[in-house]
């Protein structure tokens, strides 16, 4: 007999077992990628930058004229309760709002009610060795979707552009792909923002280059300035990355991960740089002291289990 954890999913107003968390095949999020989402981290019983993530979710939804069926305050409470339902202490929250069930066809007017679900679970991070040795990047042939076609600030369910680039990285033998925009400027990687450091200046592409304004990205710009580093946003080319002293990526799941090679060119010394390591330490310290507490005291009780043959 083996004990198996039973995950609880928040789905349209109630908590249900994972096996019962079902979305209609007519849901426009599934059929057309019509919806928005947020990925949020939990550290030591705290939800990091929860309100900032939810504010971005509401902004994304407003931009595509999608109604979220809970207020921001109620959504904060629901996210925390979802963590408690799953006895989550360290992990990841995926919050998704879709246009909802409708007819076949693109018209969103056929969807009378949005679908909202929240998953709170463990997360598979890069192994510790990646932070010690760094990532190898490959520039993808596929370009970032134009800002004129899809606003990059909208964190939508349409990730095929990123997936195609991720596949290119695997085929090339790299760890991750770098995406350029239509003008040939650096945009972002498949799920992370890009930073380069040289001559005391830290640079990251502006949102207008086709990048998501990441929550971690914003924190790193702030932390770098506190370190006395001139941190700026401006257009960058691959050359800027090739000749940088340090390059790193930032994201909710990745945190801050160093890059040591791009298209066969060694970045800096070929090892994670000093600024990258300092910012990672400061960021990790920040995550342990920031955000609403999930539990009033101590760690959560063991999760309910079911017996399985």
pTM of the shown model: 0.92
Assigned domain for 297 exists: no
User: What's the pLDDT score for residue 36?
Assistant: 98
Assigned domain for 292 exists: no
Q: How many CB atoms lie within 10 A of CB 48?
A: 24
Judge if 273 and 135 occupy the same domain. Answer: yes
CATH number reported for the structural domain that contains residue 83 in this entry = 3.30.470.10
The residue whose two tokens read 């990355």 is: 241
Judge if 99 and 137 occupy the same domain. Answer: no
Judge if 56 and 80 occupy the same domain. Answer: yes
Distance CA 172, CA 166 (A): 10
DSSP letters for 133-158? H-EEEEE-SSPPPPTTTS-TTS-BS-
User: What's the pLDDT score for residue 127?
Assistant: 86
Judge if 134 and 277 occupy the same domain. Answer: yes
Q: Could you say which of 155, 166, 198, 299 is catalytic?
A: 155
Q: Which residues of the chain have pLDDT under 50?
A: 1-3, 304-309
155 a catalytic residue:
yes
pLDDT (tens digit, 9 = 90+) per residue, 51-62?
A: 999 999 999 999
pLDDT (tens digit, 9 = 90+) per residue, 222-242?
A: 999 999 999 999 999 999 999
The residue whose two tokens read 């760690």 is: 299
Judge if 140 and 255 occupy the same domain. Answer: yes
User: What's the pLDDT score for residue 300?
Assistant: 74
User: What's the pLDDT score for residue 126?
Assistant: 82
Assigned domain for 302 exists: no
Assigned domain for 295 exists: no
208 to each of 75, 233, 307, how far by Cα in Å?
Answer: 30, 10, 52
Q: How many CB atoms lie within 10 A of CB 6?
A: 14
Of the chain, the end-to-end C-alpha distance in Å amounts to: 5
User: What's the pLDDT score for residue 93?
Assistant: 98
User: What's the pLDDT score for residue 18?
Assistant: 96
Host domain of residue 185 = 128-287
Judge if 55 and 151 occupy the same domain. Answer: no
User: What's the pLDDT score for residue 13?
Assistant: 96
Q: How many CB atoms lie within 10 A of CB 232?
A: 13
224 to each of 221, 253, 286, 308, how far by Cα in Å?
Answer: 5, 20, 13, 50
User: What's the pLDDT score for residue 4?
Assistant: 56
User: Would you say 137 and 168 are in contact if contact means Cβ atoms under 8 Å apart?
Assistant: no
User: What's the pLDDT score for residue 307?
Assistant: 35
Question: CA nearest 263: which of 161, 186, 201, 164?
Answer: 186
Judge if 89 and 163 occupy the same domain. Answer: no
Judge if 190 and 104 occupy the same domain. Answer: no
Total domains present in the chain: 2
User: What's the pLDDT score for residue 179?
Assistant: 98
Judge if 57 and 192 occupy the same domain. Answer: no
CATH number reported for the structural domain that contains residue 225 in this entry = 3.20.10.10
């Amino acid at each position: 007999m083996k004990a198996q954890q039973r995950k609880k999913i928040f789905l349209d107003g109630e908590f249900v077992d994972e096996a019962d968390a079902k979305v209609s095949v007519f849901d426009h999020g599934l059929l057309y990628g019509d919806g928005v989402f947020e990925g949020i981290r939990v550290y030591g019983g705290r939800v990091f930058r929860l309100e900032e993530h939810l504010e971005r979710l509401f902004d994304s939804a407003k931009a595509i004229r999608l109604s979220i069926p809970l207020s921001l305050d109620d959504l904060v409470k629901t996210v925390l309760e979802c963590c408690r339902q799953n006895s989550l202490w360290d992990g990841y929250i995926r919050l998704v709002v879709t246009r909802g069930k409708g007819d076949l066809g693109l018209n969103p007017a056929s969807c009378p009610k949005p679908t909202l679900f929240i998953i709170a679970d463990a997360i598979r991070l890069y192994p510790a060795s990646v932070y010690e040795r760094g990532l190898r990047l490959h520039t993808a042939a596929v370009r970032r979707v134009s800002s004129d076609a899809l606003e990059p600030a909208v964190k939508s369910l349409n990730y095929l552009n990123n997936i195609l680039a991720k596949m290119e990285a695997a085929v090339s033998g790299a760890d991750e792909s770098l995406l350029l925009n239509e003008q040939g400027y650096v945009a972002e990687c498949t799920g992370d923002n890009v930073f380069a450091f040289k001559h005391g200046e830290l640079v990251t592409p502006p949102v207008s280059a086709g990048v998501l304004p990441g929550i971690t990205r914003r924190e790193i710009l702030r932390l770098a300035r506190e370190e006395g580093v001139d941190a700026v946003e401006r257009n960058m080319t691959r050359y800027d990355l090739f000749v940088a002293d340090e390059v790193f990526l930032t994201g909710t799941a990745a945190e801050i991960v160093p890059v040591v090679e791009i298209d066969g060119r060694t970045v800096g010394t070929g090892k994670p740089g000093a600024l990258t390591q300092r910012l990672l330490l400061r960021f990790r310290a920040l995550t342990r002291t920031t955000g609403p507490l999930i539990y009033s005291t101590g760690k959560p009780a063991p999760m309910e289990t079911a017996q399985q043959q």
